[in-house]
Amino acid sequence: MSDRSDLKSSFNRAINGRVEELERIARDILDHPESGFREVRTAKLVADWFSENGLALQTGVAKTGVVGTYDTGRPGPHIAVMGELDSLIVPGHYHADPDSGAAHACGHHAQIGAMLTVATGLLDESVKKGLSGRVSFMATPAEEYIELEYRESLRENGELEFFGGKQEFIRLGHFDDVDIAMLTHTGSETVGTFGVGGSNNGMIGKTVQYIGKAAHAGGSPHLGVNALNAAQIGLAAIHAQRETFRDADTVRVHPIITRGGDAVNSVPADVRIETYVRASNVPAILGASEKIDRALRAGALATGATVRIQTAPGYLPARYDLRLVDLYRHNAASLIGDDNIIELHHGTGCTDVGDVSQIVSTIQPTANATSGNGHGVDYLVEDYELAVIKAGKAMGLTVIDLLVESGAKGAQIADSFNAPMTVTEYITRMRGFRSDTTFKD
């Protein structure tokens, strides 16, 4: 066992020498936010770092994704350590791009720092010598499920099929031989702690178009068919479904109107809505989705408008491997003490880490190092040492546990993991979520 603790000491020491560099990279990304499938600068920054540090490099994976491969040269488990490249769009955020409104209001910039921290430690020669297997450092695009019209245009161009970066990674085969995956997200629950366990909702996305008939809103409103009224009835009808959602299913439906009419003196004839339908499990997502469609159709029926509902696959619910959680908890505690490890509850947000978790043994702990509201203008990483350095160390120490002794622990967890679905089944299932229906009475 002294071998293992020596490896861990070497790992930590290697990182301690490069703290400033690693934190600087995270802050650099914070200052140059790019939203999903547009992370050109961020990707280049990661790719350059991988090259400079001797990792085998793949770029342009799922448009902007980057993979750096760390190979011990010995057979063993294949671990994916992930970090997300994309920002949100939150105009008014302290670090928002003034032109695009893009902003790291979800802390992904720290994830990249943490991922590079893991690589920094593992690349230490004395560490590498003691491990077996491979680690793929995956900088994944587009975790935030936003800008659906843009992504739809990419889909139509054949540049992607699914709207989440990790989903595309799965589709493109990057998880085919991965055994275990991990990513540390920032969190603000109890600052100074790591959160472990938990689970996340899954979701599907909908883009809705009401087509009415334009007419002069003052002169001849009786000749128009008001698509905005149709949409409002549809939205009100969605709210009328809420009492039927079960607590255990943690359903979330939260539409926005992305186009609400073109001129105030014309009866709106083209109104668009985007919404998610989230829930803790797939049957609940599908059940709620059916009710939402019904409600949306009612808006069309009431006004004589036409409604087109396009449903796109979103993310699957996330379930984390408790054996991996235990291993991680132990390593995280070695850095900040048992008292500073908290158990996460079910999260009603969604992540494409959920998709990964349906295929391989996965954890997504949180580094609780931020202030403000997630996705809000005031969400800021306050403690970079925790969010980048210690988060990276906790993951890396776990990787060491998985890959030492010929990767025995990693193999044991991977072999006994009861995957809900294979990659092929995953792709079939995701494609099955897609639908495009038009309703007019």
Partner 1 sequence: MTSAENTELNALAQRSIDGATRHLISAAKTVYGTPETGFNEHKTSNYVLEQLRGIGLSVETGIARTGMKAVLHGSSPGPTVAVIAELDALRVPGHPGANAETGAAHACGHHAQIGSLLGVAMALNTPEIKKSLSGNVAFIITPAEEFIDIGERLTLKASGAIEFLSGKQEMIRLGTFDDVDMAMMVHTSATNGDSAFSIGGTSTAHVSHQVRYLGKSAHAGGAPDQGVNALQAAMIANLAINTQRETFREADVVRVHGIISSGGTSVNAIPSDVLYEGRVRARMVEAISTVAERVIRCYRAGALALGTAVEVQTIAGYHPLRQDPSMQEVFARNVERIIGPDSITIVPDDRTTGGSTDMGDLSMILPLIHPYVNSASGVGHGNDYLIEDYNRAVIAPAKVMATTIIELLGGGAGTAREALDKYKPTMTADQYVAAQREQFTIETYEPQQSH
Closer residue to partner 1, CB minimum distance, 32 or 213 = 213
CA-to-CA separations, 61 to 69, 153, 260, 338, 436, in angstroms, rounded: 13, 18, 36, 38, 28
| CA-angle at 161, arms to 156 and 164, nearest 5° | 120
List the x/- string, 256-275, binding to partner 1 by CB under 8 A. Answer: -----------x--------
Instruction: Kindly tell me which residue out of 42, 111, 188, 232 binds partner 1, with binding defined by CB under 8 A.
Output: 232
- Residue partners of 58: CB distance under 8 A and separation at least 6: 66, 67, 68, 69
Instruction: Kindly tell me which residue out of 291, 329, 390, 393 binds partner 1, with binding defined by CB under 8 A.
Output: 291
Instruction: Kindly tell me which residue out of 243, 263, 339, 418 binds partner 1, with binding defined by CB under 8 A.
Output: 243
Closer residue to partner 1, CB minimum distance, 27 or 213 = 213
The sign of the CA dihedral 88, 89, 92, 96 is positive
Q: Which residues of 369-391 are buried (b: 16+ CB within 10 A; e: fewer)?
A: bbebebeebebbbebbebbbbbb
Q: How many residues of this chain bind partner 1 (CB under 8 A)?
A: 30
Site of tokens 């990674």? 169
CA-to-CA separations, 421 to 249, 417, 429, in angstroms, rounded: 21, 11, 9
Instruction: Kindly tell me which residue out of 244, 371, 373, 428 binds partner 1, with binding defined by CB under 8 A.
Output: 244
Q: What stretches of 117-227 adopt beta strand conformation (E)? A: 134-140, 180-182, 185-187, 193-200, 202-211
| CA-angle at 164, arms to 106 and 175, nearest 5° | 110
Instruction: Kindly tell me which residue out of 73, 283, 304, 432 binds partner 1, with binding defined by CB under 8 A.
Output: 304
Could you say whether residue 222 binds partner 1 (CB under 8 A)? yes
Could you say whether residue 295 binds partner 1 (CB under 8 A)? yes
Closer residue to partner 1, CB minimum distance, 67 or 225 = 225
Closer residue to partner 1, CB minimum distance, 125 or 222 = 222
Could you say whether residue 346 binds partner 1 (CB under 8 A)? no
Closer residue to partner 1, CB minimum distance, 126 or 244 = 244
Could you say whether residue 241 binds partner 1 (CB under 8 A)? yes
Q: By CB under 8 A, name the binding residues for partner 1.
A: 217, 221-222, 224, 226, 229, 232-233, 236-237, 240-241, 243-246, 267, 290-291, 293-295, 297-299, 301-304, 441
